[in-house]
Amino acid sequence: MVAVVRSGQSRSTLHDMSSHGERVERVWEVFRQEDEGDPMIHSGNVNAPDEELAIHYAREFYGRRGESHRLWIVPRESVLELDDPDLLKPPLDRSHKKPGGYIIKHKLEAAKARAGEGST
């Protein structure tokens, strides 16, 4: 079994073209929590040369209207990605792992009927 784990590095090479010793911008993914206790949901990303500016930009784009309780700002290359369907959506029946995999309506009716017969 081979897990395909990719980092985001493959697509950010364009921003590394620094010819005159300039600071290199890189991509930071931004996650937003709308209210206390809510899940952190991916919002988008910003391009910034350092942590300080990444935080400023994230605040500017994803928190200017009071719409966020908390932001997570993560360098894209730190995100590990797994999207292999062989691992995540295997072509096998997984219904026994889900509540909907247990259809009990008719069995319950039969069991109740049986119990009803027994009591008379």
Partner 1 sequence: MDDADTIQPLNSRPRYAPGDSDAFYAHVGSGGKVEADDWMPDEYRAAVLKFVEMHANSELMGVLPERDWIMRAPNLRRKLALTSKIQDEVGHAQLLYRVAEDLGKPRVQMLQDLLDGKTKFHNVFHYPTKSWADVGIIAWLVDAAAIVSQQALRDSSYAPYARTMKKICWEESVHIMHGRDVVLTLMNGTAIQRAMVQEALDRWWGPLMQMHGPPTDPAKDKDLHWGIKAKNNEQLRQEFLSIYVPRIRELGLTIPDAALAHDDVSGRWQYTEPDWAELKSVVTGHGPASQERLDFRRDNFAETQWVRDALLGTATAA
Min separation Cβ 58 and partner 1, Å: 12
φ, ψ dihedrals at 53, nearest 5°:
-70, -35
Min separation Cβ 38 and partner 1, Å: 17
- Between CA 61 and CA 15 the distance in angstroms is 20
Min separation Cβ 60 and partner 1, Å: 7
SS3 track for 64-117: CCCCCCEEEEEEHHHCEEECCHHHHCCCCCCHHHCHHHCCCHHHHHHHHHHHHH
State the residues that interact with partner 1 by CB under 8 A: 6, 8, 10-11, 14-15, 17, 20-23, 25, 27, 43-47, 49, 53, 60-61, 64, 81, 85, 89, 91, 93-95, 100-106
**Please, which residue, 2 or 103, has the CB nearer to partner 1?**
103
**Please, which residue, 56 or 70, has the CB nearer to partner 1?**
56
